[in-house]
Amino acid sequence: MKNKTRFLITFMLTMSIALTGCSMEKKDAQQADEYLTDSSAESSTTDEANADKSTVVMKDLFEPELEETASNENTASDNANEAVSIDRDQCVEIVFFGDSQIAHGRDDGTDIPSLLAQRVPNSICYNLAIGGTTASLEKSTSEINPENMKSLSFVGMVNCLLGKSDRNDTLSGYQNILNTMNSIDTANVDYFIIEYGANDFFNEVPLDNSLYDADQYHSYYNALKSGIDALKNACPNAKIILMTPFYGIYVDSSDNTYIGDSFIVSNGIGTLGDYASKVQYLASEMGLIYFDGMFATHCDLYLDTASQYLFDNLHLTLTGRQIFSRLLAHYVNFNEHNEPYAYLETDFIKIAEFDPEEYYRYDEGQMKEYFPESWEKYIKGEFPLAQPSDEALSWEN
């Protein structure tokens, strides 16, 4: 492999913030009888399609800056002000942390948080994602005291949200995100959704620290765990959804030839798939809700379909964001008792068949046979977003 080989792996760095408001009305949330914790995370993440392929180790992976879209500060500020006036007792409040996969599309309301809010009744989503950021504390930052910390990493953003770091100083260049953060009352947050990993991979961040290293902030696994611990301590009633980084492919920038994918190309520490495996393990260890964007659990995002999901081999297209927001919505809607567990478990999206306007409905006969607990509640009409058909009702008579 030539030393000059470079990969055009790009993250959109956006500075604007979009704050989505309440959508459909819903009845008061009920407690779910089926639970999503460590049982959602599988113990093995072996990718059979790539198991026999050699790992390609490449150093100096870099992130060229893409042309940014215009910041829409006035709109974002108006949305933030509007959100403050909403009756929060009637809303499901969701806070997103992440990199450009979550930030992308924010200016025109097609980011994953905005699309999710359209699918979760009576929800409000706060998008705190910043393109190019890592879960771990930046290598250039040695200050680990929150009072003196000025970091846009997940660790730094959590400290800002919880008032441990100076958010005005840290976010001085991101006024819209600061406005959004200022509009969040952590006492009212129902969900934290967290997605990092690609930039940790690009920056050759260690997967975890050594047994003898007391620094919990400069490695991927430990930084995620430290930030999540802080959120759990401050907001013990909030549920946490931990997302893997998303699958991507790598090409040689000189001739656009395929080099490998997230299971083959290594930064010298591991592949992006290895970083995703750390997320899976951490979700299981901490009893978090696990969401997979890497191992094709609920969609066919893979080499053959990457050009339709990904516009630059890495970032999700609008179609990709629509697909993953639909899948992510099942997790929230199940916990809010809007949908049965069967919907979350069985929805598998093939891009060739995807309709962004479709609302997923699981076959009623199969639900009755394979998901009896879901069926019992479903047939009683307990799920606002999943009402039984007349035919299904007739089966019980």
We report the CATH number of the domain holding residue 180 as 3.40.50.1110
Dihedral pair phi/psi, residue 5, rounded to 5°: -60, 130
8 A C-beta contact, residue 271 and residue 55: yes
Q: Which has the minimum average pLDDT: 55-59, 111-115, 184-188, 351-355?
A: 55-59
Q: State if pTM tops 0.75.
A: yes
Question: In terms of domains, do 367 and 219 share one?
Answer: no
Question: In terms of domains, do 355 and 372 share one?
Answer: no
- CB within 8 Å of 86: residues ≥ 6 apart: 21, 22, 124
pLDDT of residue 42: 43
pLDDT class for 133, splitting at 50, 70, 90?
Answer: very high
pLDDT class for 253, splitting at 50, 70, 90?
Answer: confident
What percentage of the chain exceeds 70 in pLDDT?
77
Question: In terms of domains, do 380 and 277 share one?
Answer: no
pLDDT of residue 54: 67
Q: Do the strands 249-251 and 258-261 form a parallel or antiparallel pair, or are they unpaired? A: antiparallel
Question: In terms of domains, do 143 and 257 share one?
Answer: yes
- How many CA atoms does the CB half-sphere of 215 hold within 13 Å? 16
By the 10 Å C-beta count (0-12 exposed, 13-18 middle, 19+ buried), 280 is classed as buried
Question: In terms of domains, do 312 and 374 share one?
Answer: no
- 11 domain residue, yes or no: no
Question: In terms of domains, do 124 and 166 share one?
Answer: yes
The answer to whether residue 219 scores a pLDDT higher than 50 is yes
By the 10 Å C-beta count (0-12 exposed, 13-18 middle, 19+ buried), 124 is classed as buried
Q: pLDDT digit string (tens) for 304-326? A: 999 999 998 999 999 999 999 99
pLDDT of residue 212: 55
3-state secondary structure of 75: helix
Question: In terms of domains, do 306 and 369 share one?
Answer: no
The answer to whether residue 146 scores a pLDDT higher than 50 is yes
Which residues form the domain of 294? 19-360
Which carries the bigger pLDDT value, residue 123 or residue 75?
Answer: 123
d(CA 362, CA 374): 11
Dihedral pair phi/psi, residue 309, rounded to 5°: -85, -30
- 269 domain residue, yes or no: yes
* Average pLDDT over every residue of 9-22: 34
Which carries the bigger pLDDT value, residue 120 or residue 36?
Answer: 120
pLDDT of residue 45: 40
The answer to whether residue 358 scores a pLDDT higher than 90 is yes
How many domains does the chain fold into?
2
Question: In terms of domains, do 373 and 263 share one?
Answer: no
- 57 domain residue, yes or no: yes
d(CA 172, CA 140): 19
The enclosing H or E element of 282 equals helix 272-286
* Average pLDDT over every residue of 127-134: 97
Question: In terms of domains, do 54 and 97 share one?
Answer: yes
Which carries the bigger pLDDT value, residue 284 or residue 5?
Answer: 284
pLDDT of residue 81: 38
Question: In terms of domains, do 146 and 263 share one?
Answer: yes
Beta strands in 154-255 (DSSP E): 191-195, 239-243, 249-251
* Average pLDDT over every residue of 202-211: 87
Which carries the bigger pLDDT value, residue 50 or residue 369?
Answer: 369
Name the average pLDDT for the chain.
83
- 12 domain residue, yes or no: no
- 307 domain residue, yes or no: yes
**Rg value, the chain, Cα:** 21
Q: pLDDT digit string (tens) for 46-95? A: 433 344 456 788 766 655 343 444 333 433 333 433 444 456 778 999 99
3-state secondary structure of 113: helix
Question: In terms of domains, do 187 and 198 share one?
Answer: yes
By the 10 Å C-beta count (0-12 exposed, 13-18 middle, 19+ buried), 83 is classed as buried
